Amino acid sequence: MVSLVIVSHSTRVAEGVRELAEQVTRGRVRVVAAGAVTGTPPGTCYDSVRRALETVANEDGALVLVDLGSAILTTQMALEDLPAARRRRILLCEAPLVEGAVAAAALLAAGASVEEAAAEARGALMPKMVQMGVGPAAASGWTHRPDWDAMAMVTVTHPLGLHAEPAGLFVQAASRYQSDVRVHNVTRNTRWFSAKSMNNVSLLNVRRGQEIAIAASGPDAATAVSTLKRLVESDFASVDASPPASAARPHCSSPHPVGPGPGAAVRDAIAFVQAHYSKPLTTAGVAERVFFHPRYFCTVFKAYTGVSFVEYLTRVRLARARDLLTRTDLDVSDVASRVGFKDPNYFSRVFKRSQGLSPREFRRQYCAGLNPPPV
């Protein structure tokens, strides 16, 4: 997995920026915070930076962002101390820390190379400058494009508009298609900007209740526009944004894995539960396995299955428990342990609430095979 390393004098700053980046990536990029020394005054710890770099050097590549002063010098020194082969996988970038981290995180989560993410991070101050009226007007957008292959209009209802986390998801979804995908703030009458750039999407300054137009030209234009429209309509929560396998990012010279889309993630999670239901599974643990943020994973899982992840896991365990109770002579406590319940008493309560009978009553009624066990 590709990584993003945040180096700051302050632990709170580093952790805060990491939190912002993770809201955008939702588990598709490893984000590491490092650098701060213990105590005051704030400073940069060489050992902390070195450990972080050693951790990510063996992975698919890493982008490093720093704040200022000794953070730069310490990171440079730690990089120089790494073996050349491992050092080549890491890129130290001069981009602004907060804005750059969020912009880079969105692009990395979409499968961009470290170099592409660094270029995005370097331009991350432009949206803020334009929105605050202190920078040049954006010239990269188009005033119009008459020959779109597909176009749709949609009103943004998300409380945050098209900012931060929702913008990151929008960029990730758009970046998975071969077509040139553009977006336009109809309410503000902006230019058409690339939907595959966090910086460009931020220039639209889309707020709740405003209407946007999404358009695309290319081999999968209709699918791209339809997916993005549904993504906006769902408030960025329940749309499978994965394109067909042929829709790889054409401009990414060294793409990185970004994890499965929502539909595939749910299928992978179900397969994992079926194989490992007897283990101490947690929602967060399974979400991490499919590269999703736990909260988003819960939303997607229920949207696809109709039940929560915890309820599904309980159903699988109880189904196996019914089988063991009717086909073996295992003690109830052993049955509980084999299907993933640590506490036999809790297992009995859950079983009775579901089946209307205690495990022992269930066994007495159905073990003779005179009546089929309930499903």
Write the single-letter amino acid at 25. Answer: T
CB atoms near residue 182 (< 10 Å): 24
Rg (the chain; Cα; Å): 25
Q: Which of 163, 184, 256, 293 is catalytic?
A: 163
Q: Is 3 helix (H, G, I), strand (E, B) or coil?
A: strand
* 371 burial via Cβ count (<10 Å: 0-12, 13-18, 19+): exposed
Please tell me the number of Cα atoms within 13 Å of 298 on its side-chain side: 9
Q: CA separation (Å) from 240 to 170, 249, 339?
A: 12, 17, 31
Sequence letter at residue 187: T
Amino acid letter for position 365: Q
Residue of 284, 277, 285 whose CA lies nearest to 337 = 277
Strand partners, 31: 4
Query: If we measure between CA atoms, which residue out of 215, 188, 217 comes closest to residue 204?
Result: 188
Catalytic residue at 158? Answer: no
Compute the distance between CA of residue 116 and CA of residue 233 in angstroms, rounded to an integer.
Answer: 29
**Alpha-carbon 282 to chain mean position:** 18
Residues forming the active site: 163
